[in-house]
Protein backbone atom coordinates (compact mmCIF):
# COMPACT_ATOMS: atom_id res chain seq x y z
CA UNK A 1 0.00 0.00 0.00
CA UNK A 2 1.28 3.48 -0.88
CA UNK A 3 2.03 6.12 1.74
CA UNK A 4 -1.00 8.17 0.71
CA UNK A 5 -3.35 5.18 0.73
CA UNK A 6 -2.02 4.13 4.14
CA UNK A 7 -3.01 7.55 5.52
CA UNK A 8 -6.42 7.52 3.82
CA UNK A 9 -7.36 3.94 4.74
CA UNK A 10 -9.64 3.43 7.77
CA UNK A 11 -8.03 2.26 11.01
CA UNK A 12 -9.53 -1.25 10.76
CA UNK A 13 -7.36 -1.84 7.66
CA UNK A 14 -4.19 -3.66 8.85
CA UNK A 15 -2.10 -1.76 6.28
CA UNK A 16 -3.24 1.69 7.40
CA UNK A 17 -1.35 4.16 9.57
CA UNK A 18 -4.40 4.33 11.80
CA UNK A 19 -4.19 0.60 12.49
CA UNK A 20 -0.46 0.83 13.24
CA UNK A 21 -1.02 3.72 15.66
CA UNK A 22 -3.84 1.86 17.37
CA UNK A 23 -1.64 -1.22 17.85
CA UNK A 24 1.15 0.91 19.29
CA UNK A 25 -1.36 2.53 21.64
CA UNK A 26 -2.52 -0.91 22.79
CA UNK A 27 1.08 -1.85 23.58
CA UNK A 28 1.21 1.15 25.93
CA UNK A 29 -2.07 -0.01 27.42
CA UNK A 30 -0.68 -3.52 28.01
CA UNK A 31 2.37 -2.08 29.77
CA UNK A 32 0.13 -0.05 32.06
CA UNK A 33 -2.04 -3.10 32.76
CA UNK A 34 1.01 -5.10 33.83
CA UNK A 35 2.18 -2.22 36.01
CA UNK A 36 -1.14 -1.69 37.79
CA UNK A 37 -2.62 -5.15 38.27
CA UNK A 38 -1.35 -8.39 39.75
CA UNK A 39 -0.41 -11.02 37.18
CA UNK A 40 -2.98 -13.51 38.51
CA UNK A 41 -5.89 -11.05 38.65
CA UNK A 42 -8.74 -11.19 36.15
CA UNK A 43 -9.39 -7.58 35.18
CA UNK A 44 -12.98 -6.52 34.52
CA UNK A 45 -13.03 -3.93 31.75
CA UNK A 46 -15.88 -1.75 30.53
CA UNK A 47 -15.24 -0.67 26.94
CA UNK A 48 -17.40 2.38 26.31
CA UNK A 49 -18.27 2.45 22.61
CA UNK A 50 -16.17 -0.59 21.77
CA UNK A 51 -16.70 -3.66 19.59
CA UNK A 52 -15.64 -7.28 19.78
CA UNK A 53 -13.55 -6.82 16.62
CA UNK A 54 -11.12 -4.61 18.53
CA UNK A 55 -10.48 -7.19 21.28
CA UNK A 56 -10.88 -10.59 19.64
CA UNK A 57 -7.20 -11.10 18.74
CA UNK A 58 -5.71 -9.51 21.85
CA UNK A 59 -3.64 -11.92 23.96
CA UNK A 60 -4.86 -10.35 27.21
CA UNK A 61 -8.36 -11.45 26.26
CA UNK A 62 -7.50 -14.86 24.77
CA UNK A 63 -5.48 -15.74 27.88
CA UNK A 64 -8.35 -14.79 30.19
CA UNK A 65 -6.56 -11.83 31.74
CA UNK A 66 -9.33 -9.44 30.72
CA UNK A 67 -13.09 -9.89 30.91
CA UNK A 68 -14.54 -7.21 28.66
CA UNK A 69 -18.02 -5.72 28.79
CA UNK A 70 -18.80 -3.87 25.57
CA UNK A 71 -21.21 -0.95 25.85
CA UNK A 72 -22.62 0.55 22.68
CA UNK A 73 -25.86 2.07 21.44
CA UNK A 74 -26.91 -1.39 20.26
CA UNK A 75 -26.07 -4.79 21.69
CA UNK A 76 -23.57 -6.72 19.58
CA UNK A 77 -24.62 -10.28 18.78
CA UNK A 78 -22.27 -13.27 18.71
CA UNK A 79 -19.41 -11.89 20.76
CA UNK A 80 -16.70 -14.30 22.01
CA UNK A 81 -17.22 -15.95 25.39
CA UNK A 82 -14.60 -13.71 27.02
CA UNK A 83 -16.84 -10.72 26.33
CA UNK A 84 -20.32 -9.45 27.05
CA UNK A 85 -22.17 -6.85 24.98
CA UNK A 86 -24.89 -4.56 26.29
CA UNK A 87 -26.80 -1.57 24.94
CA UNK A 88 -26.26 1.70 26.74
CA UNK A 89 -25.46 5.40 26.70
CA UNK A 90 -21.92 6.65 27.31
CA UNK A 91 -23.27 9.73 29.06
CA UNK A 92 -25.39 7.76 31.53
CA UNK A 93 -23.86 4.66 33.11
CA UNK A 94 -26.31 4.59 36.01
CA UNK A 95 -26.86 0.86 35.41
CA UNK A 96 -23.44 0.40 37.04
CA UNK A 97 -22.38 1.01 40.63
CA UNK A 98 -19.50 3.23 41.68
CA UNK A 99 -16.21 1.38 41.13
CA UNK A 100 -17.94 -1.68 39.67
CA UNK A 101 -15.19 -2.22 37.08
CA UNK A 102 -11.45 -2.43 37.46
CA UNK A 103 -10.95 -0.35 34.32
CA UNK A 104 -12.85 1.74 31.79
CA UNK A 105 -11.42 1.76 28.26
CA UNK A 106 -12.61 3.92 25.39
CA UNK A 107 -11.08 4.46 21.97
CA UNK A 108 -12.13 7.39 19.72
CA UNK A 109 -15.63 7.68 21.17
CA UNK A 110 -15.84 10.81 23.33
CA UNK A 111 -15.55 13.10 20.29
CA UNK A 112 -18.79 11.59 18.89
CA UNK A 113 -21.14 12.95 21.55
CA UNK A 114 -22.40 16.12 19.85
CA UNK A 115 -21.77 18.60 22.70
CA UNK A 116 -19.25 19.59 25.37
CA UNK A 117 -21.91 18.90 27.99
CA UNK A 118 -22.25 15.29 26.83
CA UNK A 119 -18.48 14.87 26.81
CA UNK A 120 -18.37 16.08 30.41
CA UNK A 121 -21.08 13.58 31.35
CA UNK A 122 -19.20 10.68 29.77
CA UNK A 123 -15.94 11.63 31.47
CA UNK A 124 -17.62 11.89 34.87
CA UNK A 125 -19.33 8.53 34.44
CA UNK A 126 -16.13 6.77 33.29
CA UNK A 127 -14.29 8.02 36.35
CA UNK A 128 -17.17 6.99 38.62
CA UNK A 129 -17.69 3.38 37.54
CA UNK A 130 -14.05 2.22 37.54
CA UNK A 131 -10.92 2.49 39.62
CA UNK A 132 -8.76 3.05 36.53
CA UNK A 133 -9.44 4.51 33.09
CA UNK A 134 -7.81 4.76 29.67
CA UNK A 135 -9.71 7.18 27.40
CA UNK A 136 -8.41 8.15 23.93
CA UNK A 137 -9.53 10.79 21.44
CA UNK A 138 -8.03 12.38 18.30
CA UNK A 139 -6.32 15.74 18.72
CA UNK A 140 -8.48 18.54 17.34
CA UNK A 141 -5.42 20.36 16.04
CA UNK A 142 -3.62 17.50 14.28
CA UNK A 143 -3.29 18.64 10.69
CA UNK A 144 -5.17 15.67 9.19
CA UNK A 145 -8.70 15.46 10.55
CA UNK A 146 -9.14 11.93 11.92
CA UNK A 147 -12.56 11.06 10.50
CA UNK A 148 -12.38 12.52 7.01
CA UNK A 149 -8.61 12.22 6.42
CA UNK A 150 -8.52 15.72 4.90
CA UNK A 151 -5.93 18.27 6.06
CA UNK A 152 -7.30 21.14 8.18
CA UNK A 153 -10.95 20.51 7.26
CA UNK A 154 -11.90 20.73 10.95
CA UNK A 155 -11.50 24.51 10.60
CA UNK A 156 -13.83 24.75 7.58
CA UNK A 157 -17.54 25.69 7.96
CA UNK A 158 -19.71 22.58 8.15
CA UNK A 159 -21.75 23.52 5.07
CA UNK A 160 -18.60 23.56 2.98
CA UNK A 161 -17.35 20.33 4.56
CA UNK A 162 -20.66 18.68 3.67
CA UNK A 163 -20.18 19.64 0.02
CA UNK A 164 -16.61 18.35 0.02
CA UNK A 165 -17.69 15.02 1.52
CA UNK A 166 -20.69 14.45 -0.72
CA UNK A 167 -19.55 16.00 -4.00
CA UNK A 168 -15.87 15.00 -4.17
CA UNK A 169 -13.65 12.02 -3.40
CA UNK A 170 -11.20 13.99 -1.27
CA UNK A 171 -12.24 12.08 1.85
CA UNK A 172 -10.77 8.58 1.73
CA UNK A 173 -11.08 8.52 -2.09
CA UNK A 174 -14.86 8.20 -2.03
CA UNK A 175 -18.02 10.28 -1.98
CA UNK A 176 -19.96 10.08 1.27
CA UNK A 177 -23.66 9.33 1.32
CA UNK A 178 -25.48 12.56 2.28
CA UNK A 179 -27.04 11.06 5.42
CA UNK A 180 -23.69 9.69 6.62
CA UNK A 181 -21.93 12.99 6.02
CA UNK A 182 -24.58 14.94 7.91
CA UNK A 183 -24.57 12.47 10.79
CA UNK A 184 -20.82 12.83 11.27
CA UNK A 185 -20.96 16.60 10.99
CA UNK A 186 -23.66 16.69 13.66
CA UNK A 187 -22.08 14.30 16.15
CA UNK A 188 -18.35 15.02 16.01
CA UNK A 189 -16.91 17.58 18.39
CA UNK A 190 -13.13 17.32 18.44
CA UNK A 191 -11.23 17.90 21.68
CA UNK A 192 -7.99 19.79 22.32
CA UNK A 193 -5.43 19.18 25.07
CA UNK A 194 -6.81 21.86 27.38
CA UNK A 195 -10.29 20.36 27.19
CA UNK A 196 -8.96 16.85 27.76
CA UNK A 197 -7.32 18.08 30.95
CA UNK A 198 -10.60 19.69 32.03
CA UNK A 199 -12.47 16.44 31.40
CA UNK A 200 -9.91 14.35 33.34
CA UNK A 201 -8.17 16.77 35.74
CA UNK A 202 -6.38 13.99 37.68
CA UNK A 203 -5.17 12.14 34.59
CA UNK A 204 -1.86 11.77 32.87
CA UNK A 205 -2.26 12.83 29.24
CA UNK A 206 -0.34 10.54 26.89
CA UNK A 207 0.41 12.25 23.57
CA UNK A 208 0.48 9.94 20.60
CA UNK A 209 2.92 11.28 18.02
CA UNK A 210 2.93 11.07 14.23
CA UNK A 211 5.49 12.95 12.13
CA UNK A 212 6.54 14.80 15.26
CA UNK A 213 3.02 16.11 15.93
CA UNK A 214 0.40 15.02 18.45
CA UNK A 215 -2.16 12.85 16.66
CA UNK A 216 -4.26 11.92 19.68
CA UNK A 217 -4.56 12.21 23.45
CA UNK A 218 -5.13 9.44 25.97
CA UNK A 219 -6.17 10.33 29.49
CA UNK A 220 -5.33 7.67 32.08
CA UNK A 221 -4.68 7.28 35.80
CA UNK A 222 -2.43 4.23 35.51
CA UNK A 223 0.99 5.69 36.38
User: What kind and span of H or E run contains 62?
Assistant: helix 59-62
DSSP annotation of 78? S
Beta-carbon count within 10 A of 173 CB = 11
State residue 12's pLDDT score: 59
| % of the chain at pLDDT higher than 70 | 90
pTM score over 0.75: yes
**Parallel, antiparallel or unpaired: strands 66-72 and 130-138:** unpaired
Cα–Cα separations (whole angstroms), residue 71 to 51, 64, 173: 8, 19, 31
- pLDDT tens digits for range 30-75: 999 999 999 899 999 999 999 999 998 999 999 999 999 999 999 9
Cβ–Cβ under 8 Å, residues 191 and 122? no
Contacts 24+ apart (CB under 8 A), 141-144: 141/192, 141/214, 142/210, 142/213, 142/214, 142/215, 142/216, 143/213, 144/7
Amino acid sequence: MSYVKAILAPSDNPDSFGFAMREKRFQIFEQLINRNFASDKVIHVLDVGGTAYFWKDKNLVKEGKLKVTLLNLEKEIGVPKEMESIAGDATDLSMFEDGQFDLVFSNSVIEHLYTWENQQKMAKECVRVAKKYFIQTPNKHFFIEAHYAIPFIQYVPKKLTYKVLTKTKLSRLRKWKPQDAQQYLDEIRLINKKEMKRLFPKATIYKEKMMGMTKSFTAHNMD
